Amino acid sequence: MRVRACLAAVIVLLATLVTPAHAELYHPRQDWLRASTAGLFLHWGMFTAPRHTDCAAWEHDVTAGGWTPDYWIDEATKLGASYVVLTTFHSRLGYARPWPSKIPGSCSTQRDFLGELIAAGKAKGVRVMLYMTDDPQWHNETGHESLDSAAYSAYKGHPVDLTTRPGFGEYSYDLFDEVMDRYADLAGFWIDNDNEYWEQHGLYEHIREKRPSMLLSNNNEDTPIMDTVSNEQKTGMTPSYDYPQAIYTPMPRLTEADYKLPTNGDWWYSGGDQAVDFRLSTGRYITNAGSSIKSLMAETAMLNGKFPPQQEAFNNFMASWTQPIKKTLEGTEGGGYMYGGMQPGFWNDGAHGVITLKGQTQYVHVVTRPSTNLVRLRDNGYRVTRVSDVRTGEPMRFAQSGGYLSILDIKDWDTYDTVFEVDTAGQQYFYDKSTIKATASASAPGHPASNLTDGSYLNYWDAGGQQPVSVTLDLGKKRSTAYLAVHERESSPTAARESFGRAEDSARIKDYRVYAGDDGKNWRSVRTGALPSTRGVQFVDVGEVHARYLKLEVLNTWSGPQAKPFFHQLALDEIDVAYGYPDPRGEVPLEAESWRNGFEGKASPVWCEACSGTAAVSGLDRGAVVFRNVQAAGPSQLQLDTAGPGTLSVSVNGAAPITVNAPAAIPVPLNPGGNTIKVSGTTALDRIAVAPLPPESYTPKTTLTVEPAGVQWVSPGRQSIKVAASLRLDVDDPVGQVSLAPVVPAGWTLEGAPVTAANLRLGQVLSGSWTVTAPAAQDVTIPVTANFTTLGRAKSVSKPVQVKPRPAGRVFMREAEDSANDIGDAGVTSCSPCSGGQKVRNIGGSAGAAVTFPDVVAGAAGQYTLYLDFTVNGDRSYFVSVNGGAPVEVKVSGAGNSTPYTTSVPVTLTAGANAIRIGNDRAGAPDLDRISLG
């Protein structure tokens, strides 16, 4: 697999954020993969340790070591994998071909390893796909030339340079043909990005014509002619195992998640026995299945084909661990998306999990267990009839009310995935969509609001880049509404990665308002709030609204301007309107209206459609509800759910009451055993919940953005820098006593006071700007720090502004990753030897993948020397354009992407601000560290 990961745009029929293309979403050749849960990715070739440079010697040692295809097929079966991707013709593994080839050009074996593997897999129901690379750049890695241009040129009868992309494309095109002719039972090709020669000469169309049953998969790109979109080694999610958070391709497009089982090291065996993180790997396996994504797991086969001991041990573990829950993974679809099902994701008390579906049966996979002994999740209107533990077969006590299913008294927690079988009688209390007419204040051509209620996830509404924007639902007559179930397009990732100090977020709804009306013109507000940036169906409870018209106004989304494909974009698949919740069953612990409680003064239960148990306790302004015998292990977190906003007064075990803004979660000094909690206030109380306090290390997830980002290179003398920052709360954990400001070193001055907020809630932002001044240019780090409290604990998050004096002989210097720049479709990555520890990668190949440096200030008009600090492997080119002028090619060479180099080119600048664009519209360019002017 290619080491670099592309930040490719989505170009598939279901994509919402770019021009749609016409992919074959369903075809019989895809059926076997749709029925699969997982595959085994095998990187194995000439450079597998111990490294070989002679093809015949490598083949001899593989055979002498006892290589057998049945071993790979059997290990794949242990992992629940129904296919194997053989990755030997790989740019970093010597471009070896594990079959007898008549086409010269790179290593080819006499023994037919590929044919033997295909036959062994066919005998045991495991398919084999062949990896093909597009990339010749590693042809002479460490000094060994892997490609034989002379031999291939003689074979073709004309000169072909295999070390160039066109030449390599011609060579590999012939290999596709040879393999198709030779192996009728090959399942297809797994292609590591596109080669221009292939595209220009219709390779994929040729494969479709010659072998229409062969599957085509492409790494990191959503190419319409491909059957599968593969996603390489995504990281940075919370929780770390939730790989689907980084996927941007909507169902029903076939999607793979490609990840390494060895926690560290290369995709191939380079020596040693690398560990496998069981928690991470099993979590990925389960959450992928719960999102209809195939887990393509990479293991590092040694020279003789065997896996190192720790990988073998993991395979053996998986064979036994998945056995009791196979029915919950095989032949299922992910729940909470287009196939129906309850809501996956973050549940109560720290729980996290997914849903898998098979018919009317749903499987609740609790991957991260809660801190309590119950799991509470949105039921999405499904009436639950029975719950049982899949591993033990034991029936489970459960309660259902107010749109939630609570599975109670859980004792048998699995270390990695506790699974419950939930039998249902289908969904209840949703209006027939054919009776609802949807219109919108704006729509993109071809994606009208009527798609929101057509019942098809292949059609969607696109807001056409407008925000705020609204959707109006005409119910046909005055009706009752309890909640909206909103299905957002799964066309943007929800993992908040960062580039040059700024968060990259999703095109999902953040702040919204819901209005009701009877004539479609006059409106009353019924709900305001924020939705989380998470995948799966989202719910907006409106209580009990009686109106003909409902209007959902989306004020903004979670994405900022730095995430160009997602900024100001919004698209929704469907909106369901519910007029009630499944009938209550059982009692959820600590309901306010429970007969076990005491009611003082005017406090009494009242009907509450949207409340848990469909009841709440009102009259708390002239009375109180007393919860007796509340069990706890000690100091705890107390959650207070209310029917609306207001204040509550809470007394624990007779102590002086404290006042809180509700709904809320607060720390309370509960004793081990039974406790008494008394609540009064200005709003109706729905329920309380008690959970252990999170560990002292817990800090609610926030996004702190600071500008400028990237090292600030300043001239000698007194310096002033403007600093701006914003803190956003990304989770539904309210924080209070918030302050935000830079912390300047001694001798510096700070202009501007800290910005403060009494509290923040989900999606809310606190922003400020300041001027910091140094007496002289210094090498210093200025932390910009946000302080706040959560559950009574003081917390802080911080990001630095790095300032350094500009080197002598330079009149201007700026990092490529600086927030002042526009990096287009390129991306930022870490680079320890680079200036500032980062660089910009994925430059070139299109007009959008370029870095533009605005405000490059020259003291006077004239010619300057522009220095480019970069990393590169092989021969590549930049094209440099100044102020929109003709681009000038700058050719560079290098021997590794972790070694910084410097080159220069003369440029003519005007006095004052200039714009310099660095890219390569036709081919990949080197990674860029920084620029400077001499």
Looking at residue 674, which CATH number applies to its domain?
A: 2.60.120.260
- Which backbone phi and psi does 561 adopt, to 5 degrees? -65, -20
Region 220-243 average pLDDT: 92
pLDDT of residue 827: 84
In a domain, 302, yes or no: yes
CB 638 within 8 A of CB 665: yes
Q: Token pair of 449, please?
A: 């609001």
pLDDT of residue 825: 83
Residue that wins the pLDDT comparison between 625 and 263 = 625
pLDDT at residue 923 greater than cutoff 90: no
342-365: pLDDT as tens digits: 999 999 999 999 999 998 899 999
The torsion angle over the Cα atoms of residues 221, 222, 225 and 227, rounded to 10 degrees, is 100
Span of 234-238, 518-522, 850-854 with lowest mean pLDDT: 234-238
In a domain, 3, yes or no: no
In a domain, 293, yes or no: yes
pLDDT of residue 610: 78
Whether 679 and 714 share a structural domain: no
pLDDT of residue 500: 60
pLDDT at residue 4 greater than cutoff 70: no
State the pLDDT confidence band at 8, using cuts at 50, 70 and 90.
Answer: very low
Looking at residue 345, which CATH number applies to its domain?
A: 2.60.40.1180
Q: Which of 634, 659, 692 is the last residue of a domain?
A: 692
pLDDT at residue 489 greater than cutoff 60: yes
Q: Which of 383, 407, 427 is the last residue of a domain?
A: 427
Give the contacts of 516 (CB within 8 A, at least 6 positions apart): 481, 523, 524, 526, 542, 545, 546, 547, 549, 550, 551
Whether 297 and 363 share a structural domain: no
Whether 475 and 373 share a structural domain: no
CA 149, 150, 152: angle at the middle one, nearest 5? 65
440-469: pLDDT as tens digits: 999 999 999 999 999 999 999 999 999 999
Identify the residue whose tokens are 């393509």.
296
pLDDT at residue 829 greater than cutoff 90: no
Give the contacts of 876 (CB within 8 A, at least 6 positions apart): 844, 891, 892, 893, 920, 923, 924, 925, 926
CA distance 628 to 679: 12
DSSP state of 376: E
Whether 213 and 79 share a structural domain: yes
608-624: pLDDT as tens digits: 877 888 899 999 999 99
In a domain, 104, yes or no: yes
CA distance 2 to 799: 32
- Mean model confidence pLDDT for the chain: 93
pLDDT at residue 25 greater than cutoff 50: yes
- For the purposes of burial, counting CB atoms within 10 Å of the CB of 68, is it exposed (0-12), middle (13-18) or buried (19 or more)? middle
pLDDT at residue 778 greater than cutoff 80: yes
Whether 73 and 196 share a structural domain: yes
Region 201-215 average pLDDT: 97
Other C-beta atoms closer than 10 Å to the C-beta of 133 total 23
901-921: pLDDT as tens digits: 999 999 999 999 999 999 999
pLDDT of residue 2: 38
pLDDT at residue 1 greater than cutoff 80: no
CA distance 587 to 589: 6
Whether 439 and 418 share a structural domain: no
In a domain, 798, yes or no: yes
DSSP state of 178: H
Span of 470-474, 643-647, 876-880 with lowest mean pLDDT: 643-647
CA 716, 721, 726: angle at the middle one, nearest 5? 155
Whether 215 and 360 share a structural domain: no
Looking at residue 230, which CATH number applies to its domain?
A: 3.20.20.80
- Which backbone phi and psi does 579 adopt, to 5 degrees? -105, 5
pLDDT of residue 23: 84
pLDDT of residue 16: 32
Other C-beta atoms closer than 10 Å to the C-beta of 50 total 12
Sign of CA dihedral 356, 559, 850, 806: negative
pLDDT of residue 503: 75
CB 466 within 8 A of CB 546: no
Beta bridge partners of 572: 461, 488
pLDDT at residue 135 greater than cutoff 50: yes
Q: Token pair of 120, please?
A: 């062994």
| Radius of gyration over every alpha carbon of the chain, rounded to an integer in angstroms | 30
Whether 101 and 220 share a structural domain: yes
pLDDT of residue 608: 87
Region 891-910 average pLDDT: 91
Other C-beta atoms closer than 10 Å to the C-beta of 321 total 18
pLDDT at residue 546 greater than cutoff 80: yes
pLDDT of residue 715: 86
In a domain, 296, yes or no: yes
- The residue segments making up the domain with residue 340 are 333-427
Residue of 359, 376, 369 whose CA lies nearest to 411: 369
Whether 164 and 294 share a structural domain: yes
Whether 192 and 175 share a structural domain: yes
State the pLDDT confidence band at 215, using cuts at 50, 70 and 90.
Answer: very high
Beta bridge partners of 365: 354, 419
Q: Which of 546, 578, 610 is the last residue of a domain?
A: 578
Whether 145 and 257 share a structural domain: yes
In a domain, 24, yes or no: no
pLDDT of residue 13: 28
pLDDT of residue 14: 30
Q: For residues 155-193, b (16+ Cβ closer than 10 Å) or e, as one string?
A: bbeeebbbbbbebbbbbbbbbbeebbebbeebbbbbbbb
Beta bridge partners of 646: 662
- Which backbone phi and psi does 209 adopt, to 5 degrees? -75, -40
CA distance 574 to 456: 8
State the pLDDT confidence band at 7, using cuts at 50, 70 and 90.
Answer: very low
pLDDT at residue 596 greater than cutoff 50: yes
Looking at residue 768, which CATH number applies to its domain?
A: 2.60.40.10
CA 858, 860, 865: angle at the middle one, nearest 5? 55
pLDDT at residue 3 greater than cutoff 50: no
Length of the chain: 934
Q: Token pair of 340, please?
A: 């129906």
CA distance 95 to 87: 10
Name the domain count of the chain.
6
**425-428 long-range Cβ contacts below 8 angstroms, 24+ apart:** 425/360, 425/382, 425/383, 425/385, 426/360, 426/382, 426/383, 427/340, 427/380, 427/381, 427/382, 427/383, 428/381, 428/382, 428/383, 428/580, 428/582, 428/583
pLDDT of residue 896: 74
Whether 384 and 257 share a structural domain: no
279-336: pLDDT as tens digits: 999 999 999 999 999 999 999 999 999 999 999 999 999 999 999 999 999 999 999 9
In a domain, 697, yes or no: no
